Structure 1
Amino acid sequence: MASIRAAFNGPFAHKEGPDYRWVEFKGHIPYPRPGACPSETYDALHKSTKDFPDEVVSFMRQHQLMWEPVPPLGGRPIITRVNAPCMFKRVVVDRVEAEDGPYDVLHLGTDDGKVVKVVSVTTDSWDPEEIILEELSVFKSPTPVLSMELSTKRQQLYLSSELGVAQLGLQRCELYGTDCAECCLARDPYCSWDGQTCSRFFPSSKRRARRQDVKYGDPWSQCPVTEDDSASVEEKSLYGVEGNSTFLECVPRSPQAELRWTSSSKTTEDRRPLSDDHRSLHMKRGLLVQRLELADAGLYTCTSHEHSYSQVLARYRLHIIPNHSLHPAAPHQQSQGPSHGKTGPAGGALPVFPGPRPPASLPALRNSWLPQHRSYKDLHMVGSNSLSVDEYCEQLWYREKRRQQKLRTLKLKQESRKARVRRNNPPEPPL
């Protein structure tokens, strides 16, 4: 408030010159000073704005801005977004007491119906650091947030838009899991690790096991953590077709974490880092390999890095199926070589897959698995539809999920119809 008062008591801004550039006004300022509220107590001649002389009114019309700015604390914006797809429309601030002092948590409403929760942390070098804690889509359709109200007593945030009213809790500590390191890396002033799980922080609580580090987010100094062992993460088998594409999902548990991928082939266990090239893309939710080759088979490891802490999140054993193995052998080729006694849907012999056998037979593989892993050649045209690659992949996933649900529903109806027929036509008793 002192900075605001100093700006309004300072010089006015003025446009002058042929290009009308803004400069500091250094001329005569009429009395009473424009911007001051008239008061009968201090000036009996000017009891209201109606008593202002014409000189003051004319000066007001031509000088509506002050020259001195009012900078935020720290001399820079609290949060900055470049080329963002949305704009901030509303803001409410909650003063939260944490283990190492109070923090101002900003709840920002956007013009597409989202709420961004941000906290600004000042480090030892006095450089403010913005930490995005959450970004939630509140309404089903993108719509501007019209108003926001904060209830510290109920710990709720109320929002309104043209679609209706929504209610959000100020904290969702359970989403950070039960691990002390993950709770500490979240750097959420609302949450702390209580010895068993990540729960709401109470300043009055005196639990000795409570751990919280909003300023640094350093689990090494707060939690009993050790070097991460990648062998403790379950290894998942994944099958891909040569020349097709595949997606290795890996979701970071913290918005500030950086995902890094490494791979090792069948012949060697040496890990080599993966970088973006013409065939693979690093995305927010995993790794997209656009065109598989036989040499891509091996072990893929996803690791999150934040500050000095790293953690293995996912491990995939990728098996590549040769493209020629998906086509049944021709009739003149079936007589050559030993037969294993299994035939395909058209009578042809099933192909022999290299390495571990896929979990499904060839008909199931061709009918249900392959459509899910369609080619991503058209992803380069996604921008014309205003969709990111992540959104496009997510739409494909939901579409395939709905198709599987319809198939299950149809199967249940068929079984129900058969059971009804059996009840209505019981078998005749033997003579």
Structure 2
Amino acid sequence: MRTDQYNSRWLNDPTFVHAHLIPDSAEKNDDKLYFFFREKASEVGQSPMTQSRIGRICLNDDGGHCCLVNKWSTFLKARLICSVPGADGIETHFDELRDVYIQPTQDTRNPVIYGVFSVSGSVFKGSAVCVYSMADIRMVFNGPFAHKEGPNYQWVAYTGKIPYPRPGTCPGGTFTPNMKSTKDYPDEVINFMRNHPTMYNAVYPVHKRPLVVRTNVDYEFTTIAVDQVRAADGSYEVLFLGTDRGTVQKVIVLPRDDLQTEELVLEEVEVFKVPTPITTMKISSKRQQLYVGSALGVTHLALHRCDVYGEACADCCLARDPYCAWDGKSCSRYSASQKRRSRRQDVKYGNPIRQCRGYNSNANKNTLETVQYGVEGSTTFLECQARSPHVSLKWHLQKENSDRRKEIRSEGRILKTDQGLLIRSLQSSDSGIYHCTSTEKNFKHTLVKLQLVVLSSRTVNNVLVDTGNPALPQIQSSAWTPSVGQYKDLLTILSQPEMGLINQYCKDYWQHGDDSLGDSKAKSLKELKEQKKPRNRRHHEDQTNPAET
């Protein structure tokens, strides 16, 4: 059996995305195969444009007796709409269907259908996720057929007589118990199907709007997988969205009290070392893993990594990850069997003030104060990375022998980034205690408390000379003797294994110049990189090597 390949009314340069068997009723003969694709469609006087479709056929379709022999005689299709309505009434359409995920429910006849769409034109780049109900889909297939009429052959709803049995009905089913095969259908039914395979009405998503929208970004969604997760305050659908740059976004959409929705990106993970479009994703509930495929290979990552949200109750609560809850000691996998007394989780509101009462006082006490050294005139970086993409970070500087804290802003020598604070051309006045605080849901939490000690150039020069490192040129300035404490701390820094390589590199640079370093420079830098340890960051790199396909 096949579609009529010479009839553009049936299919016009199609690209098939997904197919799935969905029963229509308790009668097995009513079972239909639904398939999802995109194709070229054009009105009179317009250039062809891409449209997304949902089609269906009866599983027991045997084709017609005289017409459509060995071809589908129950084939119907309808347009899938995924658009954002504008204030002027004009909709922004995401026309290219990229992937479909069928989320099962307790009723096998009514799964939830998730679709990933992208923009077909070149005006802007964007993606969207739309959700459809089977009730809306069946309503469209039970509605009017599309028909061309008039001087310009415009598409209109067919208002003529519809033959019996209704085109698209399965033989031997609920409405045709006496017809055992489509070959028993009258010729007028088969001819109607040949000329009217398209439904007039389109299928719109739930609430007539997308669930997730991305515009003006440098990536597009390519795949989707959905996991239904049970939390303390209900069940939630967690969306895993693959992109064309090789990352996976973990997203949850929460209902708000004003009948709107709130989208939260729980995390974004780099799953392949080489950026490559993700083509397939499958969830293993048994292993709690997400398997990810691309042209380079296959890898996997955990559905939940609660430890990345920190050890404080507030951080775990603010993460709003339905997989995770604070168990009284750490942020760990939520389990319904845990004792309610110690379990803390609030996915819908993420209110740590209410949920973590009695534990918040320990949040800032657990912040360790570290010491970092910088050299006058050089550049230093103070690292502070948020554990949640929804927090706002602020830096404050507290001078020595002072209780006042002054907020630091990006200006002049200082640059605030998502990873920390960059200070260029260090001055002695930059010394002090730096506090990095995060604010989310009116909850403030100190993430980093760091003492920055700015050493004078003369101090560094004296210590290098005293420790037998004449590589650095001596700086002419007034005599200055470091304190015993500073001297010991600096010796600790200079005793690191990397310092020998750095000193050799600097010596070669000053003796021969930048242009004549050649292999010596490359070798020193290479050895230095090999000794460095990788940093843990929010967007984690692939933890497993993808298997070559």
Q: TM-score, normalised on structure 2?
A: 0.55
What number of residue pairs does the alignment pair up?
365
- Alignment partner for residue 288 of structure 1, among 419, 422, 435? 422
Q: Is residue 469–residue 503 contact of structure 2 (8 Å, CA) maintained in 1? A: no
- Alignment partner for residue 250 of structure 1, among 377, 384, 387? 384
Evaluate the alpha carbon distance shift between residue 2 and residue 260 of structure 1 in structure 2; reply closer, same or farther with a 3 A threshold: same
Given residue 433 of structure 2, which amino acid in structure 1 is its aligned partner? L
Q: Aligned partners of 1:401, 1:154: CA distance in 2, in Å?
A: 39
Q: Does 1 or 2 have the higher relative contact order (CA < 8 Å, sep 6+)? A: 2
The Cα of 1:314 is off from its aligned counterpart by 1.0
What's the RMSD between the two structures over aligned residues? 4.5
- The correspondence of residues 150-161 of structure 1 with structure 2, limited to 5 A, is 150-161=283-294
Q: Is residue 145–residue 158 contact of structure 2 (8 Å, CA) maintained in 1? A: no
SS at match of 1:202: coil
Given residue 126 of structure 1, which amino acid in structure 2 is its aligned partner? L
Gaps of 5+ in 1: 329-339, 373-398, 409-431
Q: Aligned partners of 1:294, 1:122: CA distance in 2, in Å?
A: 51
Give a deviation string over 1:302-323, Cα, whole Å, max 9, x none.
Answer: 0011112111111222233455
Q: Aligned partners of 2:406, 2:455: CA distance in 1, in Å?
A: 23
Given residue 357 of structure 1, which amino acid in structure 2 is its aligned partner? Q
Q: Aligned partners of 2:337, 2:532: CA distance in 1, in Å?
A: 55
1:101 is aligned to 234
Evaluate the alpha carbon distance shift between residue 268 and residue 76 of structure 1 in structure 2; reply closer, same or farther with a 3 A threshold: farther
Q: Is residue 145–residue 161 contact of structure 1 (8 Å, CA) maintained in 2? A: yes
Q: Aligned partners of 1:191, 1:229: CA distance in 2, in Å?
A: 18
Q: Aligned partners of 2:187, 2:456: CA distance in 1, in Å?
A: 88
The Cα of 1:90 is off from its aligned counterpart by 1.0
Q: Is residue 163–residue 188 contact of structure 2 (8 Å, CA) maintained in 1? A: no
- The correspondence of residues 31-50 of structure 1 with structure 2, limited to 5 A, is 31=162, 37-39=168-170
Mapped pair 1:220 → 2:353:
yes
SS at match of 1:81: strand
The Cα of 1:93 is off from its aligned counterpart by 0.9
Evaluate the alpha carbon distance shift between residue 232 and residue 204 of structure 1 in structure 2; reply closer, same or farther with a 3 A threshold: closer
Q: Aligned partners of 2:404, 2:231: CA distance in 1, in Å?
A: 44
- Alignment partner for residue 323 of structure 2, among 190, 197, 213? 190
Q: Aligned partners of 2:246, 2:215: CA distance in 1, in Å?
A: 19
Evaluate the alpha carbon distance shift between residue 124 and residue 362 of structure 1 in structure 2; reply closer, same or farther with a 3 A threshold: closer
**How many percent identity over aligned positions?**
38
- Alignment partner for residue 113 of structure 1, among 246, 260, 266? 246
Mapped pair 1:345 → 2:475:
no
1:89 is aligned to 222
Determine which structure has the larger strand proportion and give its number. 2
Mapped pair 1:4 → 2:137:
yes
1:130 is aligned to 263
Q: Aligned partners of 1:180, 1:104: CA distance in 2, in Å?
A: 23
The Cα of 1:401 is off from its aligned counterpart by 8.8
SS at match of 1:269: coil
The Cα of 1:275 is off from its aligned counterpart by 2.1
Q: Aligned partners of 2:186, 2:424: CA distance in 1, in Å?
A: 70
Q: Is residue 146–residue 157 contact of structure 2 (8 Å, CA) maintained in 1? A: no
Q: Is residue 252–residue 265 contact of structure 2 (8 Å, CA) maintained in 1? A: yes
Q: Aligned partners of 1:71, 1:208: CA distance in 2, in Å?
A: 41
Q: Aligned partners of 1:230, 1:154: CA distance in 2, in Å?
A: 36
Gaps of 5+ in 2: 1-133, 507-523, 534-549
Q: Is residue 290–residue 300 contact of structure 2 (8 Å, CA) maintained in 1? A: yes
Given residue 297 of structure 1, which amino acid in structure 2 is its aligned partner? S
The Cα of 1:87 is off from its aligned counterpart by 1.5
Q: Is residue 219–residue 225 contact of structure 1 (8 Å, CA) maintained in 2? A: no
Given residue 435 of structure 2, which amino acid in structure 1 is its aligned partner? T
Q: Is residue 173–residue 200 contact of structure 1 (8 Å, CA) maintained in 2? A: yes
Give a deviation string over 1:193-250, Cα, whole Å, max 9, x none.
Answer: 2222222222344543222110111112122234578676333332333443221101
Q: Aligned partners of 2:402, 2:147: CA distance in 1, in Å?
A: 72
- Alignment partner for residue 486 of structure 2, among 357, 367, 381? 357
SS at match of 1:135: strand
SS at match of 2:370: strand
- Alignment partner for residue 370 of structure 2, among 220, 236, 240? 236
Given residue 434 of structure 2, which amino acid in structure 1 is its aligned partner? Y
SS at match of 2:429: helix
Q: Aligned partners of 2:412, 2:161: CA distance in 1, in Å?
A: 68
The Cα of 1:152 is off from its aligned counterpart by 1.8
Determine which structure has the larger helix proportion and give its number. 1
Given residue 251 of structure 1, which amino acid in structure 2 is its aligned partner? Q
The Cα of 1:79 is off from its aligned counterpart by 2.5
Q: Aligned partners of 1:370, 1:278: CA distance in 2, in Å?
A: 33
Q: Is residue 281–residue 287 contact of structure 1 (8 Å, CA) maintained in 2? A: yes
